[in-house]
Structure 1
Amino acid sequence: MALSHYKRCLEKHLLKSNRKIGLLAFIALALLFVLWSTREDSVRNTIAENRKNSKYSYTTNRDSLKKNWVPKNLPKDHISTYDLNKLKTTSDPLNNKEKILILTPMANFHEEYWNNLLALDYPKSLIELGFILPRTSEVDKALKKLQSKVKQVQSTTDKYSKITILRQDNDSQDSQLEKDRHAWDVQRERRSQMATARNSLLFSTIGPFTSWVLWLDSDIVETPHTLIQDLAKHDKPVIAANCYQRYYDENLKKDSIRPYDFNNWAESDEGLRLAATLPEDQIIVEGYQEIVTYRPLMAHFYNQNGDPAEEMALDGVGGTCLLVNADVHRDGAMFPNFPFYHLIETEGFAKMCKRLGYEVVGLPNYLVYHYNE
């Protein structure tokens, strides 16, 4: 009996202890809930008070963002419709108010280039500019100069419709010196990088309202002021000017000119024969003694007394000064950064245009001038 009495006493004691523990736990939880609720109310009140006293409210910031980021010409339903069938690309772009996109890959900034660009006899309101620069410390100096000039012109009433500046996200050649850029052993890598940069610039800037794309190298420092009209009046899908360079002739002791861009050429039988013998991944580059093609180079067909409007059929083009009907690019003609029929970059672009059925021509007696380093 003593044992059973002991068990009953123990059970009663444990039951009372469990009740006390449960009661204490409940009180503790209730206290924590009250404290947490009080803290949340305090935080909410503080936030509300801060918003009330703040100079800018949430609503104000939201409205400000709308004003800053929603284009003024965006329809209310936020859907823009363009009928490309009505887009004009004619031989008289000025009178038809056609929009021109001037694209320039840039590694060096020359004052003469910028001044020549500003002097073009075409309304800036109908011109968009696009630039792409390598991401190197050396080119950072050129970028600062470009940004300064852009800021100046865009702060006036006579400003360009739009200006876009891009930095390359791919590798680029370290040295931008002329002798290093044109060395034979770097041509495939350099031209591939240039092709990638050109494509990035083109695809990032061309719009549904672009009629013509003018590729103009940053080293082109002198052109006729009517460059756009002069090239467009030929009404060709792709047309190239002849790029020369001014220099001082030590032998004749006078200023003279010499050919510079040898990438404008017509195909030759030797060029076709050579291409047929090469591996698929090898390229042919003009203007180098390492590869002889006997292709007629437009640079050698300049006639001082010739007609500037004379045309020459081309199979390869350079990118120093090249006017392209925007529809050619829209149809898929780009700058291959890989061997395309043994051609690459601008020369590969010309080949692609021909494969798409577009005519490619050049003007041997119409000169633009390259910077002389």
Structure 2
Amino acid sequence: MLLKYPIVYQIRRNPVKFFTPILGLIFLWVFLIQDKSTKKPNSPYSYKSKVFGKKNDWIPRNLPADHISHYDLNKLASTPMAAYNKERVLILTPMAKFHQGYWDNLLSLTYPRSLIELGFIFPRTQEGDEALKNLERQVKKIQNPKNKIEERFAKVVILRQEHESLKSQNEKDRHAFKVQKERRSQMATARNSLLFTTIGPYTSWVLWLDSDIVETPPTLIQDLASHDKPVIAANCFQRYTDDNNSPAIRPYDFNNWIESDEGLRIASTLGDDDIIVEGYSEIATYRPLMGHFYDENGDPKTEMPLDGVGGTCLMVKADVHRDGAMFPNFPFYHLIETEGFAKMAKRLGYDVFGLPNYLVYHYNE
């Protein structure tokens, strides 16, 4: 019995020793154990990525510590019957300006929206800020949880690019010959950032669709997939009014081409850091351009092999990108961006094709 008193006495004289373990447990609970899933996760990237139509707007999402996802890519296919086989399509668009015609056309596509993911990347410019606001307004209308699932896209990801962009996005400024190397290098970096951020282990097809494309057939995805080609490009034209005030069309994208002997000869004379850009009188390669092969009475399913492609409307099997075909932002065999991508895809053993009689239309400024 006598042993009890010293113990009680010590407790009264040193209450800190009694409360210290309790305070330690509280500290562990608040700062180490408590679930922080409601906080924005730290990211090695300085840009923010939003996923619309999901409960948590921030990615990557926190997963249980023991969570493991299994994906068998051997079972992932890119087939001519993409819609029937419920193949997921990722539509990617670098966007400096928002055109309502682009968005309206996107909504008119007949491919099931539940199988479509959208990805956008915007430059940090005043025009880019305005375009972002306009797109977000449209996206929120479609991705509203009150809408039916079949009316919403599977996912929408919006990115802001960190690297520099041309300040002016006017057509005459961005297509000036003197800025092409800089502009296309910036575009290649943006495309790669967008691609590597959004492609998933369930993606079968990647459709690159420029924000200036305001008119396509509603069956665009099904039509391009039906050719079952690793890389295939539509022919981009532009509507305009001719000198007689009559509606007319003209070719717009001159980056879809077949290599020529003159093009190879010019390349052999260039330095390592020099590039060839197609469609400019400053460098006459005499390459056959797909835009000049359009036949208004021809079969829209007609195919032609290509050596260079543009990015206005380009369908790519996802495995081509997974195997390493990206958009070089540096001279690659004297090519850059989309034309460099075609060269890289071919070096990896993939065939590249175009559809000279299958038209999509570019916005006319």
Identify the TM-score tier after normalising by the shorter chain.
0.7 to 0.9
Residues 1:281 and 2:273 are matched in the alignment:
yes
Matched with 2:128 is 139
Q: Aligned-pair distance for 1:354?
A: 0.7
Q: Could you tell me which of 182, 185, 210 is aligned with 2:203? A: 210
Instruction: State the one-letter code of the partner of 2:207.
Output: L
From the superposition, tell whether residues 342 and 151 of structure 1 become closer, same or farther in structure 2 (CA, over 3 Å). Answer: same
Q: Aligned-pair distance for 1:88?
A: 1.4
Residues 1:107 and 2:96 are matched in the alignment:
yes
Q: Could you tell me which of 245, 259, 279 is aligned with 1:253? A: 245
Whether the 8 Å contact between 1:113 and 1:222 is mirrored in structure 2 is yes
Q: Could you tell me which of 184, 194, 197 is aligned with 1:201? A: 194
Q: Could you tell me which of 214, 222, 238 is aligned with 1:229? A: 222
CA distance in 1, matches of 2:140, 2:361: 26
Matched with 1:126 is 115
Which segment drifts farther, 362-371 or 153-162?
Answer: 153-162
The alignment yields a C-alpha RMSD, in angstroms, of 2.9
Helix, strand or coil at the partner of 2:168: coil
Helix, strand or coil at the partner of 1:239: strand
Matched with 1:163 is 156
Matched with 2:46 is none
Q: Could you tell me which of 85, 88, 101 is aligned with 1:96? A: 85
- The superposition leaves residues 43-79 of structure 1 with CA deviations (integer Å, 9 ceiling, x where unpaired) of x7xxx9xx9xxxxx99997387499689999788311
- The superposition leaves residues 113-143 of structure 1 with CA deviations (integer Å, 9 ceiling, x where unpaired) of 0000011001111000000000112211110
Q: TM-score, normalised by structure 2?
A: 0.84
Equivalent residue pairs, number: 328
Q: TM-score, normalised by structure 1?
A: 0.82
Identity of paired residues, percent?
Answer: 70
Whether the 8 Å contact between 2:37 and 2:62 is mirrored in structure 1 is no
Extract unaligned runs of 5+ from structure 2.
1-12, 40-54
Q: Could you tell me which of 177, 182, 189 is aligned with 2:175? A: 182
CA distance in 2, matches of 1:122, 1:363: 20
Residues 1:62 and 2:51 are matched in the alignment:
no
Extract unaligned runs of 5+ from structure 1.
1-33, 52-56
CA distance in 2, matches of 1:317, 1:208: 26
Instruction: State the one-letter code of the partner of 1:243.
Output: C
CA distance in 1, matches of 2:36, 2:179: 53
Matched with 2:353 is 361
Whether the 8 Å contact between 1:74 and 1:80 is mirrored in structure 2 is no
CA distance in 1, matches of 2:111, 2:130: 29
Whether the 8 Å contact between 2:117 and 2:155 is mirrored in structure 1 is yes
The structure that has the greater radius of gyration is 1
Compare the two structures and name the one with the higher helix fraction.
1
Instruction: State the one-letter code of the partner of 1:305.
Output: N
- The superposition leaves residues 243-293 of structure 1 with CA deviations (integer Å, 9 ceiling, x where unpaired) of 0000111x2220110100000000011111111111111100011000000
- The superposition leaves residues 303-358 of structure 1 with CA deviations (integer Å, 9 ceiling, x where unpaired) of 00000000011000000000000000000000000000000000000000110110
